[in-house]
């Protein structure tokens, strides 16, 4: 397995930990490593997967400095394709996947969490959400669908339009996460939830899950992401100004 993904098995449960410090920024290599790790878990017949990050940052989202360094539109599209390959692997995983969010999860980190079946977040001041408009990006319809299916249309609109990040308590209240735990207990609580599913008759549970998650896969289809349109807007003045301001803040 790639060194970008650390693997630890707990009986029928496999823990996959994003391992690209300091913030697990989602560059193509990490995204494709995640895709491959999910594929390997499926081939190995594991019962469930815990997707972990942290500590303190689950994932800081897409690697914006990397994206800004790319020489042309084709390279940029390839990078976004890699991100969505990772997201679709989570959404389409044949086994349940829990996000163990032991830290901040903005933007792309939040998208990965939304693709999971269940979300356990560290209590405290950690924040999660889709802050795209804050940095000059438009959240595609498919990504908005992920948020709407999780917290409802009105609250999704409020968070998406404002590009708002919410703390753990607010995330739990909205239903953006399902459970809070102490930072050191997050992966354990994720495994406990998976164990409750694995105690059920497996075939009926998995078939019911597949039916329930069909809309998630549809949301991430190419027609609902409109990646070409998104990439074409990348060089818009507002977008570039917002992204470069973000990189300046990260460099401080």
pLDDT in tens, 68-82: 899 888 999 999 999
**Contact status, residue 7 vs residue 18, Cβ threshold 8 Å:** no
Average pLDDT score, the chain? 94
* pTM (2 d.p.): 0.95
Question: Does position 2 have pLDDT exceeding 70, yes or no?
Answer: no
Candidates 3.40.50.1470, 2.40.30.10, 3.20.20.70, 3.90.226.10; CATH matching 5-182+217-250? 3.90.226.10
Beta strands in the chain (DSSP E): 5-10, 13-18, 48-52, 56-57, 97-101, 103-106, 118-122, 127-129, 165-167, 179-181
Taking 70 as the threshold, does the pLDDT of residue 113 lie above it? yes
Q: How far apart are CA 17 and CA 52, in angstroms?
A: 5
Give the helix ranges, DSSP H, for 115-185: 141-151, 153-162, 168-174
What confidence score (pLDDT) does residue 1 get?
47
């Amino acid at each position: 397995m790639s060194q970008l993904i650390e693997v630890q098995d707990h009986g029928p449960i496999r823990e996959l930990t994003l391992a690209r410090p300091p913030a697990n920024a989602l560059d193509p290599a990490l995204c494709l490593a995640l895709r491959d790790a999910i594929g390997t878990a499926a081939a190995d017949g594991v019962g469930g997967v815990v997707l972990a990050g942290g500590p303190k940052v689950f994932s800081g989202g897409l690697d914006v400095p990397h994206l800004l360094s790319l020489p042309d539109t084709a390279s940029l599209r390839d990078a976004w394709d890699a991100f969505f390959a990772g997201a679709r692997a989570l959404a389409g995983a044949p086994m349940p996947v829990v996000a163990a969010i032991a830290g901040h999860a903005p933007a792309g980190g939040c998208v990965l969490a939304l693709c999971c079946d269940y979300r356990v977040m560290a209590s405290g001041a950690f924040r999660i959400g889709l802050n795209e408009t804050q940095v000059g990006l438009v959240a595609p319809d498919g990504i908005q669908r992920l948020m709407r299916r999780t917290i409802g249309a009105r609250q999704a609109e409020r968070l998406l339009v404002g590009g708002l990040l919410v703390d753990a308590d607010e995330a739990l209240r909205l239903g953006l996460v399902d459970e809070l735990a102490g930072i050191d207990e997050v992966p354990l609580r994720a495994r406990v939830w998976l164990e409750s599913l694995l105690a059920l008759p497996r075939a009926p549970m998995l078939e019911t899950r597949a039916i329930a998650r069909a809309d998630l896969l549809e949301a991430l289809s190419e027609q609902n992401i409109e990646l070409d349109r998104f990439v074409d807007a990348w060089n818009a003045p507002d977008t570039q100004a917002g992204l470069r301001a973000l990189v300046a803040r990260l460099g401080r």
